[in-house]
């Protein structure tokens, strides 16, 4: 599926839908991305309780598309399915990772990125009923793989209004922003005049806490960088953990390393919470015991790679000189030439710049190379069916560097769902 979005003064969507080039005008103040978000969410949640969150706005937008594309159509008894009969939006169902046909629970996917959480939760039998991701390139990748355009900025009430009621699990790999405890906070923002929720104002974690407070899911699964524990001498994590406890959730957290599943050293903190109103403290949750690392970098490499991924003489010389300069000062900064029989450094979102943290040796007399986007996806645990080339290499590198390790998230989500559904391991 190839869908490209461009913004024009006339608010026109140009794309390839169902094999046809389309040029469709949208009306009103809603962005093109959000109109596609509400349409795709509607179709992906048809005949479920979540449908009502999207139905009215989706039908309105779909009708406008059909009216523009097929002015001769008789829309006196219009239904959204008519758009499918006209051959529109069919390719949102032709995707590599559809939802389970008989889901056992529902979840929402915030700060969704490439959809690592969605892959993990769908594997446990979950159905995603809402997704949000502000980056337009990550939205394209997500759309290509799941047939759903994530909504944009989750800090906006116009985005939050689409979140359905009564979903079971909130998933979020939320960014870690500095917490500013000083200043005047909106004391009644969550119906509380005092307490830790006030202290999270102005951060993206506040929006997660706000949604948890208002929607009261049975459980949540949050992921963040390891340094969240030590940020600001531990004060940041104290605010986060006590905020979640104040919302009447029991919480469990653990720093876990993705090297148990992929050949990459990548430590992240996992935070799991259970609603005490529902579980009464009897959720019986424990983190999984991780296997010993057994993967190596060589396993994720392609046998033949385009020469464009090989470092230029100029860049390779710069990286070596940079490393030598810092080595003389006693610093450890510099490039990382990967041990093909071992594990790599942590892949970062800046990998596209020079690839310095993970360089692949190519033999004597040949400059090392970057990983390809597909190899980066493998390093994050995405399988071969995952569409990584819906965006440029640059954007694919950024998305992989910001992603979760899929099999690690899957392993933790299995334990979460066992507790959620009271399954015995």
Active site residues: 176
- The DSSP letter of residue 264 is B
Q: Strand pairing of 105-110 and 20-25? A: unpaired
Spell out the alpha helix ranges (H) of 247-363: 276-279, 313-328, 351-354
Q: Is residue 87 within 8 Å of residue 18, measured between CB atoms?
A: yes
Contacts of 214 (CB under 8 A, 6+ apart): 190
Q: Does residue 47 sit in helix, strand or coil?
A: coil
Contacts of 86 (CB under 8 A, 6+ apart): 66, 69, 70, 73
Residues with Cβ within 8 Å of 330's Cβ and at least 6 positions away in sequence, in order, are none
Tokens 């407070």 appear where? 213
Residue among 205, 197, 138 at smallest CA distance from 172? 205
SS3 3: coil
In Å, how far are 61, 134, 381, 418 from 120, measured between CA atoms? 31, 21, 11, 14
């Amino acid at each position: 599926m190839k869908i490209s979005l461009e913004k024009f003064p006339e608010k026109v969507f140009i794309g390839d839908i169902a094999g046809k080039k389309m040029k469709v005008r949208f009306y009103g103040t809603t962005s093109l991305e959000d109109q596609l978000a509400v349409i795709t969410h509607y179709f992906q949640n048809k005949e479920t309780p979540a449908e009502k969150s999207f139905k009215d706005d989706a039908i309105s937008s779909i009708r406008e598309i059909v009216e523009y594309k097929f002015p001769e159509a008789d829309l006196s008894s219009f239904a959204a399915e008519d758009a499918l009969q006209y051959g529109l939006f069919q390719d949102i169902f032709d995707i590599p990772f559809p939802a389970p046909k008989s889901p056992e629970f529902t979840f929402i996917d915030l700060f969704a990125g490439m959809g690592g959480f969605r892959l993990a939760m769908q594997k446990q039998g979950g159905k995603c009923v809402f997704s949000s991701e502000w980056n337009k390139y990550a939205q394209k990748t997500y759309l290509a793989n799941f047939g759903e355009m994530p909504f944009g900025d989750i800090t906006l009430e116009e985005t939050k209004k689409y979140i359905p009621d009564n979903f079971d699990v909130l998933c979020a790999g939320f960014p870690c922003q500095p917490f500013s405890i000083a200043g005047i906070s909106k004391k009644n923002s969550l119906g509380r005049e005092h307490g830790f929720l006030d202290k999270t104002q102005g951060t993206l974690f506040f929006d997660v806490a706000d949604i948890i407070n208002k929607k009261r899911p049975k459980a949540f699964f949050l992921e963040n960088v390891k340094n969240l524990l030590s940020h600001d001498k531990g004060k940041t994590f104290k605010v986060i953990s006590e905020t979640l406890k104040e919302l009447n959730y029991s919480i469990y957290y653990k720093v876990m390393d993705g090297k148990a599943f992929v050949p990459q050293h990548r430590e992240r903190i996992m935070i799991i919470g259970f609603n005490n109103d529902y579980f009464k403290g009897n959720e019986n949750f424990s983190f999984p015991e991780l296997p010993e690392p057994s993967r190596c970098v060589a396993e994720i490499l392609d046998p033949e790679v385009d020469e464009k991924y090989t470092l230029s003489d100029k860049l390779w010389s710069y990286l070596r000189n940079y490393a030598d300069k810092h080595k003389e000062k006693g610093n450890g900064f510099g490039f990382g030439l990967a041990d093909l029989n071992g594990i790599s450094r942590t892949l970062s979102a800046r990998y596209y710049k020079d690839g310095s943290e993970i360089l692949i040796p190519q033999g004597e007399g040949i400059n090392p190379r970057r990983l390809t986007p597909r190899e980066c996806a493998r390093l994050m645990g995405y399988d071969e069916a995952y569409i990584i080339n819906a965006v440029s290499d640059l954007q694919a590198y950024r998305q992989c560097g910001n992603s979760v390790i899929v099999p690690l998230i899957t392993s933790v989500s299995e334990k979460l769902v066992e507790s959620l559904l009271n399954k015995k391991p």
